[in-house]
Structure 1
Amino acid sequence: MNALLVVTALLTATPITLEETRALGRKNTQALQAVLDVTVAQEDQRAARSGLLPQVQFGAGPSLVYLGRRRQVTTIPISETEVITREVESSSNTADSYNAYLSLSQVIYNRALWKQLEQAGVNVDATKNLALEEADTSELEAIRRFFALFLSQATLDVLQATVTRSEEQVERSRALFLAGRVGKTEEISAEVNLGNDRINVVQRQMQLVADQAQLAVWLARPGTEILQAVDPGVFQQEPAPAPALDDALKQARQHRALLRALVQRVRVAELQRAIVQGDYIPRVGLGARYDHTSQDLGPFFSEARLGNVFNGGITLTWDLFNGFLTDAQSARAQANIRKAELTLSQTGRELEAEVRRAHQALEGQLASSKLATTNRVAAAQGLELAEERFKAGAGSTLDVRDAQLKLTQAELVLLQSRIDVEIARYALFRATGTLNPGDSQ
């Protein structure tokens, strides 16, 4: 019954290759969020550029002034030497007017604005490199989940083969019992062994479903989708040896996007200091404004030659003293530069350690894979010998079962070790920044 369920699930499963998994892994949710960060940085660059472009404004609207009743002193001359001073009370009145204006301003020189634009450009490059880092991380996790699914599928095949061997052992034990060559306990032991093997299959089927869901979710596909990992061919050829450690370290220094991003972060911090220190330098700008005013809406349009005002000029602004604010901001920027440099140095050391660990892991998995291959051959020979002895009446079900378990264990270890070799190799690619060579700069 369980075998029928497995076959049915495989028939309805969606096959997915390793290459498809890698491509989709670079476009999962985390990677897409990193790409959106690049878009935000690019728009910040546009915003920084806007301050250097001409600024044009237009405004228009009516205005109303209300003056309430008020007392005021007026002086009336009555002769060349005499005046009369009287206090009068004026009535309230209103005055309306209509105004439109067009203004233009243009920066001629502002060092801070130019440095802000340069800083925004460097920040875009740094964000792109961080997006590449996130894409590599997402792809490596997709690769790991793909191989986890493939491992479950291959493990099920091994366990099913073990069930088949146990079924054959039950038939042999029953036949030998009926022939009077072995006791009933041999047949019972074989049936118990068969039951345990079937339990192992059921438990692995549950793990298979979990691995399918984990891969589907990571690839931004429905969690209910049944995926089937297509055999990537890891058993069809001997794994290639690990590269030299010195070569791996050299590649990491040249291609790892994280290092490029941190170098650019140092530059961003340096430009922030330049922006702050721009306050030490005068700023020059050009401004022009045209106003048209009328006391009545009709003449506003019909008498365009009246009520016009135009002014323009060049302004120079220089902060001679601002309470040492620029000094404080400059010192703060210098501290941030030092922090960025320390982060870069520490990350470089951590990267070297990461490459060394990944390199050692690959070499260790390669050695384990060779040993596992030898063990599998020996275990197969042991099972063949135990079955021949049992058929000849010189052995017991316990001997056959022990040989079966050793073969199953050897096959599972070989399967795990070969998959671990592939995962370790991709992890080394990730550490050296060569997981996708086309993305390296």
Structure 2
Amino acid sequence: MNALLLAALLAVAPQSPAESNATPATPATPDANASSVSLAEARAEGRRNTQALLSLLDVERAEADVRSARSPLLPQVDFSLSAGGVKNGPQRIVTPVCDPTGTTCVQQTVDVPGNSRGNYNASVGLSQIIYDRARWKQLEQSGASAEATRGQAVEQADAAELEAVNRFFNLYRSQATIQVLDATVRRSEEQLERARALFHAGRVGRGEELSALVNLGNDRINLVQRRAQLVQDQGQLAIWLARPGSTALVAQDPGIFTVAPEPAPALDAAMREARQRRPLLRALQEQVRAAQLGEDVAASGYFPRLVGQGSYSRGGPNAGPVFTEPRLQNAVSGQLVLQWDLFNGFATQAQEARAAATRRTAELNLAQAERELDASVRAAIETLQTRIDAARLASENREAAAQSLTLGEERFKAGAGSTLEVRDAQLKLTQAELTLLGNRIDVEVARFALMRAMGTLSPGESK
């Protein structure tokens, strides 16, 4: 059976005259209040679900870390203003007392009366790092870490989109399965009417009618039970798309049954593209670069630091001269400060060793991820090709099952067959239809999984 035939299969067949007197099956039409969602909408909303938004918050934090690392390299200006005072009570102090000529001084105990004075200050300070290797390397390191976080956010968005695709197709699978089961119920209703007609005509026994009635009941039970899975799949998709969990969603037809599946890409080309585009690899590469810069930060302990400092201040015991007399109480200072840790107890060597271990860990993680990526791409291609082959075989099986059912029905009408024979053909056709449906959907799921492994799920965000 080709794709167009399957599309016709999934459409609800019109009711035959023989069905007009039969008990109607549970309708396969969706809730009138249900919200329709397309595959494109599910993919777009999946990239903005809760997990993806949490990753974007990590990016915002990483960008804030970059600004924090840059801030010490910019001029640091501070302003302070203070007003206060000191009040001293009577004091007894020992102080040198000299004779009038100033040639002889002796220590004497002297009583000093209490006093008070004000203390008013206003100052502006400026500090600028002229050279500090550690600060510059920390800025580069935070930038590499931010890039790694961005790559991880895209990787998480890809994972969220793929999960949305899986849940969309799960819902669509349930909808299509209900349509297949509904068609099975209709065939069973037709078979029941045939058995009744033949029984009343005296061509078959009462047992054929009862057997057809039981088969119809079992098919209706299967149809009703499948609706519970439909509701569960609706909730799972709604939750992942950050919609209310009670939303009844209907997956729009993605159009996969009207076109033949494209073949799987070549392995070598897929691996090359995956190594270039997979966000996870870029994130791990940036983590390696950040770890290498961490070694530079640790080694910066061997280098001196040069800082320029300047200040302008006004201070005095009275507020008037400080705040109202610009020509008084002025003080300006400036200095260059060179700091060099000549020996810090081998702390720098320990930091270098730790940074080297961190860098080696990042390199090992990257190498392992590259090996795992090659394996996942190869497995995804093989899975896709297997699904394509299985869908082709399922289509051939469905054609054979349809022919078998037609033959069984014709034999039953002619009185040469039995309800059991027709029932067996019906079950085989239903199973073949469900197998074809599942395999064709599995082809699309496998293709999206391959795109995820290659980093081409959403090319605009993976560049």
Structure 2 length as normaliser, TM-score? 0.92
CA distance in 2: counterparts of 1:312 and 1:385, whole angstroms: 104
Match of 1:356 in 2: 378
How many pairs are equivalent? 440
Give the letter aligned to residue 368 of structure 1: A
Match of 1:120 in 2: 142
CA distance in 2: counterparts of 1:2 and 1:341, whole angstroms: 65
Match of 1:55 in 2: 76
Q: Does 1:20 align with 2:41?
A: yes
Q: Does 1:414 align with 2:459?
A: no
Q: Does 1:111 align with 2:133?
A: yes
Q: Deviations over 1:386-438 (max 9, x none)?
A: 11111111111111100000000000000000000000011011111111222
CA distance in 2: counterparts of 1:159 and 1:74, whole angstroms: 111
Work out whether residues 2 and 202 of structure 1, in 8 Å CA contact, stay in contact via their aligned partners in 2: no
Q: Does 1:178 align with 2:206?
A: no
CA distance in 2: counterparts of 1:173 and 1:306, whole angstroms: 118
Once the 2 structures are TM-superposed, how far is the Cα of residue 2 of structure 1 from its aligned partner?
8.3
Q: Deviations over 1:43-87 (max 9, x none)?
A: 111111111110000000113224344321233333545445431
Q: 1:27 to 1:150 in 2, by over 3 A?
A: same
Once the 2 structures are TM-superposed, how far is the Cα of residue 13 of structure 1 from its aligned partner?
1.4
Q: Deviations over 1:72-106 (max 9, x none)?
A: 12333335454454312323333221111100011
Q: Does 1:167 align with 2:189?
A: yes
Q: Does 1:267 align with 2:267?
A: no
User: RMSD of aligned C-alpha atoms?
Assistant: 1.5
Correspondence for 2:315 among 288, 293, 296: 293
CA distance in 1: counterparts of 2:292 and 2:50, whole angstroms: 33
Q: Deviations over 1:181-201 (max 9, x none)?
A: 111111111111001000111
Q: 1:28 to 1:225 in 2, by over 3 A?
A: same
Q: Deviations over 1:115-154 (max 9, x none)?
A: 1111121122111111110111000000010100000000
Give the letter aligned to residue 439 of structure 1: E
Match of 1:367 in 2: 389
Work out whether residues 391 and 436 of structure 2, in 8 Å CA contact, stay in contact via their aligned partners in 1: yes
For residues 234-249 of structure 1, what are the structure 2 equivalents within 5 Å?
234-249=256-271
Match of 1:280 in 2: 302
Structure 1 runs not aligned, ≥5 long? none
Match of 1:35 in 2: 56
Give the letter aligned to residue 445 of structure 2: I
Give the letter aligned to residue 220 of structure 2: R
Once the 2 structures are TM-superposed, how far is the Cα of residue 249 of structure 1 from its aligned partner?
1.1
Give the letter aligned to residue 57 of structure 2: L
* Paired residue secondary structure (1:10): coil
Q: Does 1:345 align with 2:367?
A: yes
Q: 1:313 to 1:402 in 2, by over 3 A?
A: same
Work out whether residues 285 and 366 of structure 2, in 8 Å CA contact, stay in contact via their aligned partners in 1: yes
Structure 2 runs not aligned, ≥5 long? 1-22
Query: What's the % identity of the aligned pairs?
Result: 55
CA distance in 2: counterparts of 1:3 and 1:440, whole angstroms: 48
Match of 2:343 in 1: 321
For residues 123-272 of structure 1, what are the structure 2 equivalents within 5 Å?
123-272=145-294
Structure 1 length as normaliser, TM-score? 0.97
Q: Does 1:379 align with 2:401?
A: yes
Work out whether residues 238 and 244 of structure 2, in 8 Å CA contact, stay in contact via their aligned partners in 1: yes
CA distance in 2: counterparts of 1:72 and 1:14, whole angstroms: 91
Correspondence for 2:418 among 383, 396, 401: 396
Once the 2 structures are TM-superposed, how far is the Cα of residue 277 of structure 1 from its aligned partner?
1.1
Work out whether residues 122 and 314 of structure 2, in 8 Å CA contact, stay in contact via their aligned partners in 1: yes
Q: Does 1:78 align with 2:86?
A: no
Work out whether residues 39 and 165 of structure 2, in 8 Å CA contact, stay in contact via their aligned partners in 1: yes
CA distance in 2: counterparts of 1:378 and 1:294, whole angstroms: 105
Once the 2 structures are TM-superposed, how far is the Cα of residue 384 of structure 1 from its aligned partner?
0.4
Once the 2 structures are TM-superposed, how far is the Cα of residue 4 of structure 1 from its aligned partner?
5.9
Give the letter aligned to residue 432 of structure 1: M
Runs of 4+ in 1 over 6 A off after TM superposition: none
